[in-house]
Structure 1
Amino acid sequence: MPRAHQAARDEAKMRLQDQLDALKAECLAKTPPKLTLVRRRAVEGLAASGLAARAMHAGDQIPAFQLRDGYGRMFSLHEALRCGPIVLLFYRGWWCPYCNVDLRAIEAVSHDIRSFGASLVIVSQQTSDNSVETQRRNRLSFASLVDVGGRVAHAFGLRWKVSDELRAVEEDYGMDLAAFNGDPSWTLTMPARYVVAPAGMIEYADISVDYTQRGDPSELIPVLAHLAAHLPLVGLI
């Protein structure tokens, strides 16, 4: 077995949060204390805002949308749901190492996801080129959609404005979010996962206020299995 494939399998065997915790320890060791402090304040402020509680959750009807992927191909939620359930992920960008680990963990279970008749798509506010780069870096088999200005993220209640304090510190250390997103607003999308039934209702939602904390991809499987078991019955009613 090629070494790269073996490494991917070994990584997939670890719980996602274990991988993220190891990454966090590594990042904290290399990150200036001031930057770490301001990032922590931003997470605490986002949690205190209650934005995640007001975002879309299980039982909500998903807003219809159309977006293009990094190659310019159109994705229609309405059309995709005609073919079965959708696993929909929102992520911050390829510049976020936690998102990259998360996306690779999803790729590791993508075959299982598709085995239940579900499709898989991810969304970010990044430019088209950066969306393509996300796919390339993480060897993803699913499309990365370009949410210009965070319009769809806003509809889901996931988009938030970066504080002046965080922006100033990030810029001091070389982060240019406006360039990554092609948008001067300096807004971010909270990482989130949704399983959407063909009728457009959210069956599962996981929203990460703290971008270093993510639910395990294994949580998606029983939801998809339940949908696969019950959807044929729906067609008979």
Structure 2
Amino acid sequence: MSLQDKLDAVRAEDLAKSPPNATLARRRAVDGLVTSGLAERAVQAGDEAPAFRLRDGNGKAFSSRDAICRGPVVLAFYRGRWCPYCTVDLRAIQLASHDIRRLGASLVVVSQQTPDNSLETQRRNGLSFESLVDPGGRVANAFGLRWKAPDELRAVELESGLDLAAFNGDASWTLTMPARYVVAPTGAVEYADISSDYTKRGDPSEVFPVLAHLAAH
């Protein structure tokens, strides 16, 4: 089963159990994000990747500049462990992680959530790569992926039990668009997949030919 098939199954389950007002608010938020053109203005293939330093849940530092000196970096942004779509996506990335490393790349994922929640994400999903903490979405913003949840969405998520401010340790109620990048040793973005609609993601296997090309050159 492809990643998108798994995401579609999550979506069907989500629609079946969510109150109509929550489904409507989430759909309106996605539609608004799509029409805003934010994804098109975000960092794309051919752009220079913003350099950054972040820490994982244990406080270990990661430098993108240092990482690309060793080879390409596969970088994935996700919303948080509260998001079932992100859970499915992260597990798919884990399944692809051996081949990603075999092709000479390193792999990290990034979210705005707190260090404890990042560690819990790694534990629950058996991730063999670091989940970096992006306080306030600073790095997501540099990549053009950060957006503010509208009041309608905030209200229904609080009603459903999701307090994003507590999860992220930040009162801004901002979210990160899910995205996947391949950054070459030159610092250039060789591949970008950005999801305005969080229920749709490119398959992790799409990075394989990009990494193979980089390895050959």
Query: Normalising to structure 1: TM-score of the pair?
Result: 0.91
2:104 is paired with a residue whose SS is coil
- Give 1:194 deviation, angstroms: 0.1
Distance 2:80 2:162 in 1: 12
Q: How far, CA to CA, are the matches of 1:225 and 1:87 in structure 2? A: 13
Counterpart of 2:99 in structure 1: which amino acid?
D
Query: What is the aligned counterpart of 2:37 among 46, 50, 61?
Result: 50
CA distance in 1, matches of 2:42, 2:203: 20
Q: Match for residue 28 of structure 2?
A: 41
Aligned partner of 1:18 in structure 2 is 5
- Listed as ranges, the gaps of 5+ residues in structure 2 are none
Given candidates 167, 174, 191, the residue that maps to 2:178 is 191
CA separation in 2, counterparts of 1:130 and 1:68? 13
Which amino acid is 2:85 matched to? Y
**RMSD (Å) for aligned C-alpha atoms:** 0.5
Aligned residues: 217
C-alpha distance in 2, partners of 1:22/1:145? 28
Give the Cα separation in 2 of the matches to 1:173 and 1:61: 39
The 2-side partners of 1:59 and 1:16 are apart by 26
Q: Counterpart in 1 of 2:84?
A: 97
Letter matched to residue 112 of structure 1: D
- The within-5 A match list for 1:172-191 is 172-191=159-178
1:165-184 deviation per Cα after TM superposition (whole angstroms, max 9, x unaligned) = 11111112211000000000
**CA-CA distance at 1:26 after TM superposition:** 1.1
Query: SS of 2:70's equivalent?
Result: coil
1:81 equivalent to 2:102? Answer: no
State the Cα deviation string for residues 133-186 of structure 1 (Å, max 9, x = none). 110111000000000000000000000000011111111221100000000000
Counterparts of 1:98 and 1:219 in 2: how far apart (Å)?
Answer: 18
The answer to whether structure 1 residue 143 and structure 2 residue 130 are counterparts is yes
User: In structure 2, what is the Cα distance between the partners aligned to 1:219 and 1:176?
Assistant: 34
Structure 1 residue ranges without an equivalent (≥5): 1-13, 231-237
The superposition leaves residues 13-53 of structure 1 with CA deviations (integer Å, 9 ceiling, x where unpaired) of: x2100011111111111111110010000000001111001
Candidates 200, 209, 213, aligned match of 2:196: 209
TM-superposed deviation, 1:218: 1.3
The answer for the alignment partner of 1:64 in structure 2 is: 51
Opposite residue 211 of structure 2, the aligned amino acid is: L
Return the alpha-carbon distance in structure 1 between the equivalents of residues 187 and 101 of structure 2.
Answer: 18
* CA displacement at 1:120 relative to structure 2: 0.1
CA–CA separation in structure 1 for the residues paired with 2:196 and 2:26: 12
Structure 1 stretches (4+) deviating beyond 6 angstroms? none
Aligned equivalents of 1:179, 1:150: Cα separation in 2: 14
- Cα distance, 1:117 vs structure 2: 0.7
Q: Distance in 1 between the 2:115 and 2:125 partners? A: 16
